[in-house]
Amino acid sequence: MLNSNNPILAKQLKIQKYHILDGMTNLDDGWGAPYDNQTYVEAYDQLEMALMEPLDHVLEKSNVEEFRPKFKNQKDPKKRNWIKKTNGDTEWKELIYGFGTSDESEIEDHELKKHYFQPPLQVQRNSFVKNTLMNFKKESNIDIQRLAIMGCGEMSLERGLCDVLGTFGTINVLSVDIDPVSLSVGQQLLEKHLNQQGDIISSETGLPVLMRSYLGDILEPDHRFADVDAIVSLEVVEHISLEDAKKFVNNVLGTLIPRIFIFSTPNHEYNTVFGMKPGEFRHDDHKFEMNRKEFSDWLEELSIRFPHYLIEPPHFIGMTPKYEDLSGASQAAVCRLQDNINTSLPQEITPYKSVGHVACRLGSRLVAYNLVRQAFLEWLENVEMHPAGLKNETFMPYWSFNISHILHHIHAPISFSSTIDEKVAIKYIQGMTSYKVHPDSVNGVNGIAIPQSQTKANLIETVERNAKMQ
């Protein structure tokens, strides 16, 4: 199975290599709605209900700024005397942790040092996952509806994938970690990211994504993580004993059975690039590190034990010039399910505790447009346009109406209609009436102006004619 002479594999590898850092070129531009209005409205209904479900356990809120004294070479951020002003590195930490203020703790982590990796290794690993899943979706034409991240840590991957979840066709992201502090930090960073990047995220069309996090031990399988489309576990296995790492991977491939499983671990041989002694581990918390042969042998073992998976030869992530012979700092496995088999894990096996949920609201402009049109038509049917209500401030008298009254006629859950901006709705109405209606915002109240020359019947006719041409 691990034969790199296989032409299909070689082609896949070539495509993957090509896509690694070139960004996503074929993203939906946001205007095409792959689902109909009803599907959106139902998805928002379900989202609202899911967000109302009580959590199994409420985490103590961790201080994001004081996070991560847990690994080797990471100084205690409370001891401020070693803080030095950051330079361009701040930018990378902004990417990784979502904060990068000037007095932020300087984390002395080999992998984070700018001169080794540009972009940082973590970002490269996330890009690798993004591209691998993108290729999986393109080649198989299967949506990654449910995506699970095991050993999610501070949810850097979750943040990194938000802007492509629409392209993946994702509706659920499930994350699990054993460490409540990492989870609490991850939740805070994810929420901050979703708020700050809202405009970018909503530039892509897709159903809303429920992102749920769980406290749990990945050595115990949980039915909610079974039969998902993709499982990703980056830099986790080395934090448990080799025996447990093998048990975890066996559980994924033999019990949870995702369509695609991606996992990574450090390439031990690469530590020499960081000036480390042979045998020294990259972090204190590592229980083992594998050289390239050991990792590739493990994948060989797995492909024999799990013949229903096609396991690609190891991928390498993070190169440093002049050290090309060491392949890369992280080694990753990509395992793709070949047969249509399902889990036999009983439904009642749910040891993980839900500890957080948040919605990633993707764009839905066409759906919003259609809902605004329906609301505008319904409102028009009912509105009274008396000559007494005309405003005479200009050459052409006009009626002025508050847009919020029109938007009250939208037939959709509030969680969806609240995503429609008033000014954007006015722009839609202008367009659908062939600019017979104008924006009229006075004293911060957004409204529309309908000139006296327009009749209700004429406006309705124009809107309906334009709708037919859509």
Ligand X SMILES: C[S@@+](CC[C@H](N)C(=O)[O-])C[C@H]1O[C@@H](n2cnc3c(N)ncnc32)[C@H](O)[C@@H]1O
Closest approach of ligand X to the CB of residue 147, in Å:
13
Tokens of 426: 């006015």
Shorter beta-carbon distance to Mg ion: residue 77 or 151: 151
Binding residues for ligand X, how many (CB under 6 A)?
A: 17
Q: Which of the ranges 40-48, 213-221, 323-331, 458-466 carries the binding residues for ligand X, by CB under 6 A?
A: 213-221
CB closer to ligand X out of 206 and 216:
216
- Minimum Å distance from CB 232 to ligand X? 8
Q: Which residues pair with 310 in a beta bridge?
A: 336
Q: Which does 219 bind (CB under 5 to 8 A by kind): ligand X, Mg ion, none?
A: ligand X
Closer residue to ligand X in complex, CB, 160/206: 160
Q: Which one among 74, 86, 172, 182 touches ligand X, defined by CB under 6 A? A: 182
Find which of ligand X, Mg ion, none residue 153 binds, CB within 5 to 8 Å per kind: ligand X
Structure tokens given for 378: 């319904």
Please state, in angstroms and as integers, the Cα–Cα distance from residue 155 to each residue in 94, 240, 307, 309, following that order: 14, 19, 31, 27
Tokens of 233: 């576990």
Q: In angstroms, what is the minimal distance from the CB of 333 to ligand X? A: 14
Return the number of the residue (153 or 447) whose C-beta is nearest ligand X: 153
Strand ranges (E), 198-344:
209-215, 230-234, 260-266, 309-311, 315-317, 330-337
The residues that bridge with 146 in the sheet, in sequence order, are 172
Measured from the CB atom, the residue of 286 and 361 that comes closer to Mg ion is 286
Binding residue for Mg ion, selected from 111, 158, 235, 312, defined by CB under 5 A: 235
Could you give the C-alpha distances from 232 to 153, 193, 251, 277, 287, in angstroms and in order?
12, 20, 13, 30, 20
Contact status, residue 295 vs residue 316, Cβ threshold 8 Å: no
* Three-class secondary structure of residue 437 per DSSP: coil
As a whole number of angstroms, the distance between CA 398 and CA 260 comes to 60
In the bound state with Mg ion, the residue whose beta carbon lies nearer, of 229 and 235, is 235
Only one of the segments 54-62, 229-237, 394-402, 412-420 lies at the binding site for Mg ion (rule: CB under 5 A); that segment is 229-237
| Cα diameter, the chain | 88
**Least distance in Å: CB of 332 to Mg ion?**
13
Q: How far is the CB of 283 from Mg ion (least distance, A)?
A: 5
Please name the helix (run of DSSP H) or strand (run of DSSP E) that holds residue 432, with its range, or none: helix 422-432
Site for ligand X in 226-255 (CB under 6 A): 234-236, 239-240
Peptide bond into 321 cis (omega under 30): no
Q: How far is the CB of 121 from Mg ion (least distance, A)?
A: 11
| Residue 238 C-beta: closest distance to Mg ion, Å | 5
Question: Kind and range of the H or E element at 20?
Answer: none
Give the tokens for residue 23. Answer: 């960004």
Which of 129, 134, 147, 152 touches ligand X (CB under 6 A)? 152
Q: Binding partner of residue 172 among Mg ion, ligand X, none, CB under 5 to 8 Å per kind?
A: none
Angle, alpha carbons 50-55-56 (nearest 5°): 135
Tokens 């103590």 locate to 60
**166: nearest Cα among 131, 140, 134, 127:** 134
Single residue of 219, 396, 442, 445 touching ligand X by CB under 6 A: 219
The answer to whether 425 touches 407, Cβ cutoff 8 Å, is yes
How far apart, in whole angstroms, are the C-alpha atoms of residue 127 and residue 245?
Answer: 24
The smaller minimum CB distance to ligand X, of residues 229 and 235, is found at: 235
Residue 156 sits in the site that holds ligand X (CB under 6 A): yes
Pick what 204 binds: ligand X, Mg ion, none; C-beta below 5 to 8 Å, kind-dependent: none
Stretch that binds ligand X, among 176-184, 199-207, 270-278, 340-348 (CB under 6 A): 176-184
Instruction: Please give the residues from 397 up to 436 whose contact with Mg ion meets the rule CB under 5 A.
Output: none
Neighbours of 10 (CB within 10 A): 13
- Min CB(235)–Mg ion separation in Å: 4
* Strand bridging mode 315-317 / 330-337: antiparallel
CA nearest neighbour of 359 among 171, 90, 161: 171
Among 217, 227, 280, 294, binds ligand X (CB under 6 A): 217
Of 292 and 353, CB closest to Mg ion: 292
Partner whose footprint covers residue 98, from ligand X, Mg ion, none (CB < 5 to 8 Å by kind): none
Q: Rule CB under 5 A: is residue 289 a binding residue for Mg ion?
A: no
**Residue 177, interface with ligand X (CB under 6 A)?**
yes
Does 440 help bind Mg ion (rule: CB under 5 A)?
Answer: no
Binding site for Mg ion (CB under 5 A): 235
Binding site for ligand X (CB under 6 A): 151-153, 156-157, 177-179, 182, 217-219, 234-236, 239-240
